[in-house]
Amino acid sequence: MTEDFWVFERDAHSRGVHYVAGIDEAGRGPLAGPVVAAAVVLPSSFPIPDIADSKTLTPKKRSRLYDDIYRHAVSVGIGVVDAVEIDRINILQAALLAMLFSVENLRPRPGYLLIDGNTPIHTELPQQVIPKGDSRSISIAAASIIAKVTRDRLMVLYDEEYPQFGFRRHKGYPTKDHKAAIRKYGSCPIHRKTFRGVREFVSA
């Protein structure tokens, strides 16, 4: 990693911001389940050196870092938007809404937001969008881990309710096995019925 992982946080702190939150989401691509966002405020003395974009980490390491982040963070907020709302407002708007919910669940209230991606969220709080932010900002990377682990654990719970779809294995993503199960069983209540790969097989 060539870029300073604290550069965005330090810049905000240098302008007098006390609490800087990184925000990221997980679950835009799946055919089932919610989109989950996390907002994380880290202390400037955060002692965990191996935070990274959640997509580059093994499930075991993500789980360990999830616990470390919760242990040391100033605050962590979670936002969840379910499949029904995703179908109603589209996945981009649902992801932005989940991000907003995650920020609203932070205590204390942050003074500045670092948002992964290129689309701001609807809030009066000052914010900065950062493309590929989960590999450029430690706060966003921490949020990516919290969002991913939280969503994966929700999908394991859904697997118990709808075992025929194998959510524990693929977490709702469009794998070969998942698509075959949709063809066989139709959709279930957590499927995103407007998504290609589901809408063709929607159960009445």
Mean pLDDT by 10 residues, the chain (204 residues): 80 96 98 98 89 88 96 97 98 98 97 98 98 96 97 98 98 97 96 96 70
Q: Is the pTM of this model over 0.75?
A: yes
The amino acid sitting at 94 is A
Sequence spans of domains, the chain:
7-160
What pLDDT sits at residue 3? 61
pLDDT score, position 54: 86
φ and ψ of 198, to 5 deg: -120, -45
The pLDDT assigned to 2 comes to: 41
Q: What is the pLDDT of residue 1?
A: 41
State phi, psi for 37 to the nearest 5 degrees: -120, 155
Q: In this structure, are residues 72 and 136 in contact, taking their beta carbons and an 8 Å threshold?
A: no
Q: What is the pLDDT of residue 118?
A: 97
Task: Write down the pLDDT at residue 203.
Answer: 57
Q: Which of 40, 34, 45 is nearest to 65 (CA)?
A: 40
List beta partners, residue 113: 21, 127
| Domain 7-160: CATH class, spelled out | alpha beta
